[in-house]
A and B are shown apart, each in its own frame.
Chain A
Amino acid sequence: KQEVTQIPAALSVPEGENLVLNCSFTDSAIYNLQWFRQDPGKGLTSLLLIQSSQREQTSGRLNASLDKSSGRSTLYIAASQPGDSATYLCAAMNYGGATNKLIFGTGTLLAVQP
C-alpha cells in the first residue's frame, strides 16, 4: 500500500530565500508524481507533474525532481515571495487497479514572510 509523507509539516522563511520541500513514498512503482498548492478555503492547483520516466520538471521559479529508487521527490522554490504562502501537497499515482487515483501526502504549510 502506497504511503506518502511530507517533511517538514510547516515552514516559515523570509522573502527571497530559496527553499526545498520534501516528499517520500514507500512504493516505487509509481506512474507519476504531482505537486499541488492549496490556498485556504480553496481547491488544489496543479503545479508540476513528473512522469516516472522523467527526473525533473520546471515551471518558472519551481523545479520538481523525482528519484524513484530512493522513493523521494523534492519541490524547489527559488526566490520565494509572500504570494507563495500556501499548503503544498505531493501526490503519487501508482500502477495497478482500474483508476488514476492519487495518493496524497499530508502537506507542507509554507509561510513566506515579507
Chain B
Amino acid sequence: GAGVSQSPSNKVTEKGKDVELRCDPISGHTALYWYRQSLGQGLEFLIYFQGNSAPDKSGLPSDRFSAERTGGSVSTLTIQRTQQEDSAVYLCASSLRSGRYSNQPQHFGDGTRLSIL
C-alpha cells in the first residue's frame, strides 16, 4: 500500500556539507510538494511540482536550496553548504490534481529529520 515514501528518515551531517533528500510520491499523483517543519517557524511551504516542472519555488529560503523531479515521479531536494538553521523536518506531499486549483487532499510522507552539527 504505497503511501508517500521519504528517505532517509534521519540525516545528521556537518555544517558545510551538501545533503540530498528523496521523495517517492503515491503512484499516479501528478502534484508534489515540499514543506519544512521547524520549531521556530512551524510548517512552511518550499516548492511545488506539477509533473516535472516547478511553477512555484517561492518558499525556497535561499539559493542553497534546489529541487528536481524526474519522470513525473521521484523528487530530490538538495541543500548545499548546509547551515545549522537548516535543521528541521522536511516533509513531502503528493496529490491528484486537475486544473489550477484542487480539492484533492495532500498526502504526506513521514519526513526526513535533518540535523546539522
Q: In chain B between 73 and 103, which residues have their CB closer than 8 angstroms to a CB of chain A?
A: 91, 93, 95, 97, 100-103
A residues bordering B, Cβ < 8 Å? 31-32, 34, 36, 41-46, 49, 51, 89, 91, 93, 95, 97-107
The reply to whether A51 and B110 contact each other, CB–CB distance below 8 Å, is: no
Of B13-21, B41-49, B61-69, the stretch lying at the interface with chain A is: B41-49
Q: Does B59 contact A (CB under 8 A)?
A: yes
Given contact pairs A100-B95, A101-B59, A46 touches B103 in the complex (Cβ within 8 A): no
The reply to whether A46 and B107 contact each other, CB–CB distance below 8 Å, is: yes
The reply to whether A99 and B48 contact each other, CB–CB distance below 8 Å, is: yes
- Binding site secondary structure of chain B: strand
Residue of B nearest to A52 (CB): B103
Give the Cβ gap from A51 to chain B, nearest Cβ, in Å: 5
The reply to whether B111 and A93 contact each other, CB–CB distance below 8 Å, is: no
The reply to whether A95 and B101 contact each other, CB–CB distance below 8 Å, is: yes
B residues bordering A, Cβ < 8 Å? 4, 6, 31, 33, 35, 42-45, 48, 55-56, 58-59, 91, 93, 95, 97, 100-103, 105-111
Residue of B nearest to A53 (CB): B103
Give the Cβ gap from B39 to chain A, nearest Cβ, in Å: 11
What is the bound-complex CA distance between A107 and B41, given in angstroms?
A: 12
Given contact pairs A43-B4, A43-B111, A89-B43, A102 touches B106 in the complex (Cβ within 8 A): yes
The reply to whether A43 and B101 contact each other, CB–CB distance below 8 Å, is: no
The reply to whether A100 and B48 contact each other, CB–CB distance below 8 Å, is: yes
Residue of A nearest to B9 (CB): A41
What is the bound-complex CA distance between A60 and B48, given in angstroms?
A: 32
The reply to whether B101 and A31 contact each other, CB–CB distance below 8 Å, is: yes
Those 8 A-B pairs whose CB atoms lie nearest each other, nearest first:
A99-B56, A43-B108, A98-B55, A104-B43, A46-B105, A44-B108, A101-B45, A99-B48
Could you say which residues of chain A place their CB within 8 Å of the CB of B111? 42-43
What is the bound-complex CA distance between A101 and B105, given in angstroms?
A: 11
What is the bound-complex CA distance between A107 and B45, given in angstroms?
A: 16
User: Which of B31, B43, B109 has the largest number of chain A CB atoms within 10 A?
Assistant: B43
